[in-house]
Structure 1
Amino acid sequence: MIRFIIYIFGLFNITIGINLSIVSGLGISPVSAFTLPLSQSLQISLGTITTVIYIVFVLVQYLLLKDRFKKKNILQIPFSIVFGFFVNLPGSFMKGIQLNTYMSQLGILLISILICAIGATLYIAMDIVPNAPEGLQLAFCERFNWPFSKVKMASDCLFVFVGFIIAVLFLNGNTAIREGTILSALLTGKLIGLFSQKVNPILHKIVFQEDVRIA
């Protein structure tokens, strides 16, 4: 039960971070860098389009791993539906928030990056199933033996690029991708790597009763 609660809390943290990055006005977080302009282009809620894209990510994982694809990762699909609901929920409470100075915007952005990294660290450590984007990144790590932090950074940059193209083609260049998006892409993966090194031993000792030393 503790393991499941920490997992759900981690997912919910990420959705809070996503919505805080929108509130900051300095750029959407990379995990939504292309789902947001896609939802705006199609006039579908961000939570709904996120769920659909995440299910596609699960399919790509299967194509990458095939026989090595773990059956439990099918659970990413129902959890993606829950995640989509979580994305819409904090956003409904944060509408109308306005930040009047650049420093306040930057502060909220940095908080959003921190919260997203903490959330990802928590649910990955619980080893139930990863959220679909991280599941896709982990699939690349397993398939090609690449370190997660580097794959995370590369995929975030790719999401940003795709989101920019969508905005140029369908939104007349009106994009939520700004300097904050690049900052998120560069920092989130590194923070996850740092937090995982420090926090995972503690979490594993609490949840899995592992006797490990903290690095």
Structure 2
Amino acid sequence: MNKDMIKRMIIYIAGILILALGLVLNAKTGLGVSPILSVSFVLSKIVPLTFGTCTAIIYCILVLIQILLYRKVSLAIILQLPLSYLFGILIDFYNMLIPINNPAFPYAIIMLLVAIVFTAIGAFLMVSVQLIVNPGDGYVNAFATVLNKPFGKVKFVLDLTLVCLSTIISFVVLKRLVGIGLGTIVAAFMTGPVIHALDRHFGINIANIVIASKTKG
């Protein structure tokens, strides 16, 4: 394994850790969770399973959706299953580690902004090194590929769909709105632009590492 491949793996692991932290911080603001975790958050309030376990289950379903859309099973998709399990563990770990819950509104806003930055950094690092795709991005890319539509537009529609589904489940089962709020909306609109800014400033650096790892490999 060459030095650049090791760099890719370190960046990827850092991305996973930072992304999970950002998503948990988003949930702990009390202002609403990130769209991709909205369904798993609501389910964790209904069934006797942790937030992380519900997230892992939803992610596995997203992997299944990719298989159905592509109509084939590939190693790149299958490897998302253990990643889903690991991500669920990280969600529960951070959820237990961070004692903050529903802070006062001014602090919640600050916490939300920090969460969005962490989420964007984590997603950017994971995608940029081109290793195992996060199921949350993988299923969006599958829809975009099959429908021949831009990734950004498809992601917005799918995020909105998840939020609507979470809202319906909340009102039908819990008789109240759970996990959806200002934080959900802000995260949906701000995370993408932050990722774009990171890519504009640092994308070429990581791209060079990826190219070098493939060339020397």
* Same fold by TM-score greater than 0.5: yes
- Matched residue type, 1:24: T
Structure 2 equivalent of residue 109 of structure 1: 112
Bigger CA drift: 127-136 or 197-206?
A: 197-206
Q: State the partner residue of 2:59.
A: 54
Count of aligned positions:
208
Gaps of 5+ in 1: 211-215
Q: Quick check: 1:204 aligned with 2:207?
A: yes
Q: Does 1:141 align with 2:144?
A: yes
Tell me if structure 2 keeps the 8 A contact 1:153–1:188. no
Q: Do structure 1's residue 150 and structure 2's residue 153 form an aligned pair?
A: yes
CA apart distance, 1:90? 0.8
- Aligned counterparts, 1:149-188, within 5 A: 149-188=152-191
Structure 2 gap segments, 5+ residues each = 1-5
Structure 1: how far apart are the matches of 2:177 and 2:52?
A: 20
* Kept in 2: contact 1:153–1:189 (CA 8 A): no
Q: Post-superposition shift, 1:97?
A: 4.7
2-side partners of 1:46 and 1:78: how far apart? Answer: 17
Are the structure 2 counterparts of residues 150 and 55 from structure 1 closer, same or farther at C-alpha, using a change threshold of 3 Å? same
Equivalence for 1:23? 28
Alignment-derived partner of residue 49 in structure 2: 44
Q: Does the CA contact (< 8 Å) of 2:130 and 2:210 recur in 1?
A: no
Q: Output the TM-score relative to the length of structure 2.
A: 0.88
Whole-Å Cα distance in 1 between the matches of residues 55 and 102 of structure 2? 25
Q: Are positions 1:126 and 2:158 aligned together?
A: no
Per mean C-alpha deviation after superposition, the further-off stretch among 153-162 and 55-64 is 153-162
Q: Indicate the larger mover: 183-192 or 85-94.
A: 183-192
1:65-113 CA-to-partner distances (Å, cap 9, x unmatched) read 124x64222100011111110111111111345523x221111111111
8 A contact 1:149–1:193 mirrored in 2: no
Match of 2:87 in 1: 83
Identity over aligned residues, as a percent?
31
